[in-house]
């Protein structure tokens, strides 16, 4: 892995203000991302994101990797995340985020959803007038029932379907195409993203068109696709309902790592809905939150052996799960937290609360 040279950003100054800070990796350095571009990620780049709690006493460091980011960018992003962690005394929790498989926490930072743009930042247009002179139409697919992602796709009819929302970006005109079978939240997020493009990327010089009842008749929109014929339909994902979240809560497990008996044991404590009372600061615990990730927490009073066992067993646990399961994806992350009892308790409460809310949708 390459050694990163000194950053343009003074690492000692980060994490001193509440909220989100984002940098992209450029020439082995951190380059600040303008706030107007938060939520936009180039698939050929890597990013580092730091979220600071309102009380300025908790931090989450995420390094985001686009599907076409280079090995050097990936390595530098990981190094920079570690540097930020060290500058904040080792208190942050680190997350590795993969395009299309981001954690729920990461996605929560972007209420209007996130947008994937093909290529790297340097290949894009960043001056409004230059953009209008040389602009090529771009099509974005807005998909997701809860966490909506807008992904750039080929600007052709074959990319469209009747079940999702699409944005057609023509530079001075942005069309939000909402066919009848598209979801309500996708529509809301699609409109919000289009307004963001018009107001921030284009400095208010672009007009947004909402195609709802006229989704199949707007002449300008369809002139780019050659008519409405042969637009494919799409079925809703079977897991896009309450049955998915019911299965998720049933599969969550909590494990205790303890040598209190004289020998090191890893014991299942609970499965399904979790309670804070299950935690004990004298031991280490591993929470398998299914696609939410695997969390390893080391209690304040646990022994050195328990600490070591928890760290190694967390990784081994995931490896064995992947070997036995055909549906468990390889990008599931193991997250390590030391001396932060409140964080793992918050995770337990969060998982249960989110699942309960989703069961009521």
Q: Does domain 242-359 have CATH number 3.40.50.150?
A: no
Q: What average pLDDT is seen over the chain?
A: 78
How many Cβ atoms are within 10 Å of 14's Cβ, its own excluded?
21
Give long-range contacts, CB 8 A cutoff, 24+ apart: 202-207. Answer: 202/128, 202/131, 202/171, 202/172, 203/128, 205/128, 205/132, 205/172, 206/171, 206/172, 206/173, 206/174, 207/172, 207/173, 207/174
Predicted confidence (pLDDT) per residue in 147-178, tens digit = 778 889 999 999 999 999 999 999 999 999 99
Check if the beta carbon of residue 203 is closer than 8 Å to that of residue 191.
no
Query: Rounded to whole angstroms, how far apart are CA atoms 163 and 29?
Result: 41
What is the model's pLDDT at position 358? 39
Residue spans of alpha helices (H) in the chain = 71-87, 104-108, 128-134, 184-196, 219-222, 242-251, 304-324, 341-359
CATH placement of domain 11-117 = 3.40.20.10
Check if the beta carbon of residue 203 is closer than 8 Å to that of residue 238.
no
Topology of domain 125-222, per CATH?
Severin (3.40.20)
Q: Which of 295, 273, 277 is nearest to 285 (CA)?
A: 295
Predicted confidence (pLDDT) per residue in 93-124, tens digit = 878 888 888 888 899 999 888 899 988 876 55
- DSSP letters along 156-188, please? SGGG-BTTSEEEEE-SSEEEEE--TTS-HHHHH
Query: Which segments of the chain have a pLDDT < 50?
Result: 1-7, 125-128, 235-241, 326-327, 339, 341-342, 350, 353-361
What is the model's pLDDT at position 272? 82
What is the model's pLDDT at position 39? 92
CATH 3.40.20.10, the chain: domain bounds: 11-117, 125-222, 242-359
């Amino acid at each position: 892995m390459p050694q990163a040279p000194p950053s343009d950003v003074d690492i000692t100054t980060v994490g001193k203000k509440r909220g989100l800070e984002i940098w992209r990796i450029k020439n082995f350095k951190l380059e600040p991302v303008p706030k107007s571009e938060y939520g936009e990620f180039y698939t050929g780049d890597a990013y580092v994101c730091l979220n600071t709690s309102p009380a300025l006493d908790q931090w989450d460091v995420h390094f985001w990797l686009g599907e076409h980011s280079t090995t050097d960018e990936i390595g530098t992003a990981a190094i920079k995340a570690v540097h930020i962690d060290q500058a904040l005394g080792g208190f942050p929790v680190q997350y590795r985020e993969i395009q299309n498989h981001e954690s729920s926490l990461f996605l929560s930072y972007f209420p209007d959803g996130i947008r994937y743009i093909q290529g790297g930042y340097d290949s894009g247009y960043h001056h409004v007038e230059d953009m209008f002179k040389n602009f090529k139409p771009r099509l974005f697919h807005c998909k997701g029932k809860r966490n909506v992602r807008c992904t750039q796709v080929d600007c052709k009819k074959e990319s469209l379907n009747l079940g999702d929302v699409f944005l057609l970006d023509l530079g001075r005109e942005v069309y939000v195409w909402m066919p009848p079978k598209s979801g309500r939240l996708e529509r809301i997020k699609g409109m919000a993203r289009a307004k963001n493009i018009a107001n921030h990327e284009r400095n208010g010089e672009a007009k947004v068109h909402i195609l709802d009842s006229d989704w199949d008749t707007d002449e300008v929109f369809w002139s780019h696709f050659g008519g409405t014929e042969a637009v494919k339909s799409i079925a809703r994902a079977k897991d896009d309902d309450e049955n998915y979240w019911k299965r998720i809560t049933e599969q969550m497990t909590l494990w205790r790592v303890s040598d209190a008996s004289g020998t090191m044991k890893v014991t299942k404590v609970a499965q399904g809905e979790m309670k804070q009372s299950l935690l004990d600061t004298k031991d280490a615990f591993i929470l398998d939150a299914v696609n939410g990730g695997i969390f390893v927490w080391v209690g304040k009073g646990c022994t050195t052996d328990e600490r070591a066992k928890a760290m190694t067993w967390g990784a081994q646990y995931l490896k064995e799960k992947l070997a036995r399961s055909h549906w468990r994806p390889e990008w599931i992350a193991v997250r390590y937290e030391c001396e932060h009892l409140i964080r793992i308790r918050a995770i337990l409460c969060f998982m249960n609360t989110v699942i309960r809310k989703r069961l009521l949708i």
